[in-house]
């Protein structure tokens, strides 16, 4: 049985498609949006369309940005000889919150997962290899999951023959956990206790 009109139902359905949003949250959001002044709703819609249209990958590290080069890669005060490899832009943000890492990043946008049909060519590994000309250390900070570990080992085997130091973030990050959900202290301990692969 339909509880809402077609237009409210359609809004709830679209909001419920967003990751982490269940039906109840989608209902709350839909009723909140419908109750907003029309100018605020239009502004929200414009911001969504503008972000979708103008956010792209950084030409250097592949994170999401609205410029050709993201602010981290563009910062001359960052240590460009140290690259931390992460799976997602959310993982990059989690490490930035620690305030203790001064190198740059490389975002893979995924991890190797043969079960899901995701191979090395499906993530941003080629772009990483291009960046290694003047690098001293690559810190592999993929998630401590089966896929993250497989990706870390693959990266290590690719890079080690070039003589570049390859390290892996230390334990402290629970197996099966996502970096974006872990507190800054745990992330900092994992970064400080990294080991060479």
Q: What confidence category does residue 175 fall into, taking pLDDT thresholds of 50, 70 and 90?
A: low
Q: Mean of the pLDDT values across residues 113-124? A: 90
**Residues 11, 84: one domain?**
no
The percentage of residues in the chain with a pLDDT greater than 90, rounded to a whole number, is 70
**pTM of the predicted model as reported, rounded to 2 decimal places:** 0.78
- pLDDT tens string 40-96: 999 999 999 999 999 999 999 999 999 999 999 999 999 999 999 999 999 999 999
Query: With contact defined as beta carbons under 8 Å apart, do 190 and 170 qualify?
Result: yes
112 burial level (CB within 10 Å; 0-12, 13-18, 19+)? buried
User: Which residue range forms the structural domain that includes residue 108?
Assistant: 76-196
The answer to the question of residue 45 being in a domain is: yes
The answer to the question of residue 142 being in a domain is: yes
Q: Which residues lie closer than 8 Å to 24 by C-beta, 6 or more apart?
A: none
The answer to the question of residue 133 being in a domain is: yes
Question: How many domains does the chain divide into?
Answer: 2
- pLDDT tens string 138-149: 999 998 788 888
The domain that holds 99 is classified in CATH as 3.40.1360.10
Q: What are the structure tokens assigned to 52, written together?
A: 């979708």
**Residues 81, 158: one domain?**
yes
The answer to the question of residue 124 being in a domain is: yes
Is residue 94 classed as helix, strand or coil in its secondary structure? helix
Q: How many CA atoms lie within 13 A of 151 on its CB side?
A: 29
The answer to the question of residue 1 being in a domain is: no
């Amino acid at each position: 049985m339909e509880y809402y009109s077609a237009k409210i139902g359609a809004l709830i359905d679209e909001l419920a498609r967003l990751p982490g949003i269940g039906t109840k949250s989608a209902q709350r959001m839909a009723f909140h949006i419908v109750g907003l002044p029309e100018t605020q709703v239009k502004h929200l819609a414009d911001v969504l369309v503008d972000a979708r249209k103008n956010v792209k990958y950084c030409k250097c590290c592949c994170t999401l940005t609205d410029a050709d080069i993201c602010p981290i890669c563009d910062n001359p005060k960052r240590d460009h000889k140290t690259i931390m490899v992460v799976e997602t832009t959310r993982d990059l943000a989690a490490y930035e919150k620690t305030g203790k890492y001064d190198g740059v990043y490389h975002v893979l946008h995924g991890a190797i997962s043969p079960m899901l049909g995701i191979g090395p060519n499906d993530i941003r590994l080629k772009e990483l290899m291009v960046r290694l000309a003047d690098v001293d250390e690559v810190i592999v900070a993929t998630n401590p999951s089966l896929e993250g570990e497989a990706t870390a080992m693959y990266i290590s085997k690719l890079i080690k023959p070039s003589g570049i130091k390859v390290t892996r973030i230390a334990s402290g990050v629970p197996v099966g956990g996502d970096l974006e959900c872990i507190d800054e202290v745990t992330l900092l301990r994992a970064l400080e206790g990294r080991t060479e692969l």
